[in-house]
Each structure stands twice: as structure tokens, then as C-alpha cells.
Amino acid sequence: MDRLQIGLIGWGTVGSALGELVRTGPLPMTLAAIAVRDRERPGLPKGVQVGGADLALQADVVVELAGGLDGPLAWARQALDRGKPYVTANKALLATHGRELAEIADRRVAALLGSASVGGGTPMIEATQHLAATGAIERIRGILNATTTYILSAMGEGRSYDEALREAQDAGYAEADPSFDVDGRDAAQKLAILASVAWGRWRPEQDVDTTGIVGHEVAAGETIRLVAEATKGSLSVKPMPIDPTDPMARAAGIENVLEITVADAGVYRVSGPGAGGRVTAGAVYGDLARLAAGERPVLFGSPS
């Protein structure tokens, strides 16, 4: 079988970790091209072509780990329109333009994958997809943002909001613009993607009733978490008290937790590191494994 040629857009923490996985991992694939703004950037691997997005778009599979919205939307449209698989970790892209992208992917019989967009390396999209195929999902409930877990836990231990936010940023959990974390948008985008997968119909971020944690008081000893919750009809993200015996209350640090309730079956849980270069690259690599096996999945099933 021919080795799959990967065109990677973005060479940050996740991109470089993916480069290492592709180089050392078992799948028959090669990193053929890397698109970066700064082509002189230190650490770019030798023997791989470096250029702009056009170069990466010529490969067999396009992987976007750049972030942002306008560039990724244009690249995804081009790749899918040419029938190429598009793999992304970009939750904003999927929660904003997912319907259009899934439609192009369906029409052009191209794969659209985004396992790394939710839960970092924790197989949340994969578990949701699997369980949706086994029965009717009644509810999903999760802790999908590490920054707010960190801040709310630290406040419960007596630290101020500002101190806790600074610590979370220093720990490397926060988005480049931490208002996405603390306003609940990061969790809302992730929940919209999970709900789209769970019920087979694309849901935008705007469908999520979102309340962030700014200005939320936490009394000493209280367990508050930013809880993301969805049924087929309603999606919400808001800070709320959790019983300390609830398995979700154990989420600490970088850990994300997802609970999926399936009719006539029960409650399933998946938890693990929700961010980080190596773990997030692992989720992308898992998507590439499906492509290498000849699958052509579209993340949201049939859009409507």
C-alpha cells in the first residue's frame, strides 16, 4: 500500500508532536509538507517541504493545527472540494462552519475528522460516535475545560479569581485568549460538537446557553465546576455546585470528564487529559489511522 502523504498546516506544540508521531509511529504515512507563516522557524524537520497552505493542500490528507477561523475555513473548503480528507483540531471551525463542511464532505465523498477538537487526547468524540451507534443517547454531561476547573478548584481553596487565572495560564491550560475559557465559549464549542455527533445533526455554538465563571463566587470548601450538559433539545454550559461524591467532581488539573447516558443501557464515562501537545497529537493520529484503513468518515453524520 502506498504511504499516505500528509500536508500539515501549523507547527506549534501539537503540530510538532504530530510530526514526531508520524515519523516514529506504525502507520504507513509520511509528513510530506508543512505550512507555516515563518519558514525559518527553528525545529522544523529536515527533509520535509516547508511552504504555505497551498503546498500542504497538495498532499493526500490535509491536517490543520493552525487555529483561527478564516484561513482554516478556506483551506477546509478547498481540501474537501477536491475530495481530500481534512483532519482538524479546530473546535471553533467545527462549531461555526461544521454544517457547510460536512455538506461539502458528503457531496465530494471526502472525510472530515476532528477527534482532537474535544477532550484533547481523551476519546470523547470517538466514545460518543460509538455509543450513538449502539443506542439512543439521552444525555451528555461533562467537564470540558481545564482552565475553569483549575480556577474554580483554586477559588474553593481560598485563592482569588485573578490569582487562580494567572496560575492556570502559567500551567499552560488557557487558550491564547483566556476569555474563551472563562466565558465558557471553549466548553460551549466542545459541547456543540459532541451534541452534533451524539444526535447526527450539526449544532452551532450559538445553540448552547452559555454562562461563564467571571464574577461567580466560590465559598471556601465548595465544589463548583463549569458543567456542560446536553439533551437532544437543550444544550447548556454553566458553573454549578457538584456533589463531592459525583465522579465528575474528581476532575482536577488538566483532566476532562464526559458522561454519556444511553437509553436502556446506562451511563458511560470517559476521562483523561484534555489538552497538551502529545495527547492532542495522539487524537489526530487516531483519525489518520482511520484514513489509512480506508475509512471515509464525516464527523457529524448526515447534516440536515
**Residues within the interface to ligand HSE (CB under 6 A):** 145-147, 173-175, 181, 186, 274-275
Name the residue nearer to ligand HSE (CB basis): 9 or 146.
146
The count of other CB atoms within 10 Å of the CB of residue 133 is 8
3-state secondary structure of 69: coil
Using the Cα atoms of residue 182, residue 121, residue 119 and residue 94 in order, give the sign of their dihedral: positive
Name the residue nearer to ligand HSE (CB basis): 34 or 275.
275
What is the Cα 245 distance to its own chain's centre?
A: 27
Smallest distance from ligand HSE to CB 181, Å = 5
Quote the cell numbers at residue 32: 510530506
| Interaxial angle between packed helices 124-134 and 185-199, expressed in degrees from 0 to 180 and rounded to the nearest 10 | 30
Provide the annotated active-site residues: 190
Quote the cell numbers at residue 117: 477538537
Q: Which of 208, 211, 184 is nearest to 196 (CA)?
A: 208
Q: What is the Cα–Cα distance from 60 to 7, expressed in whole angstroms?
A: 7
Q: What is the Cα–Cα distance from 50 to 137, expressed in whole angstroms?
A: 44
Q: Which of 59, 68, 70 is nearest to 34 (CA)?
A: 59
What is the Cα 205 distance to its own chain's centre?
A: 13
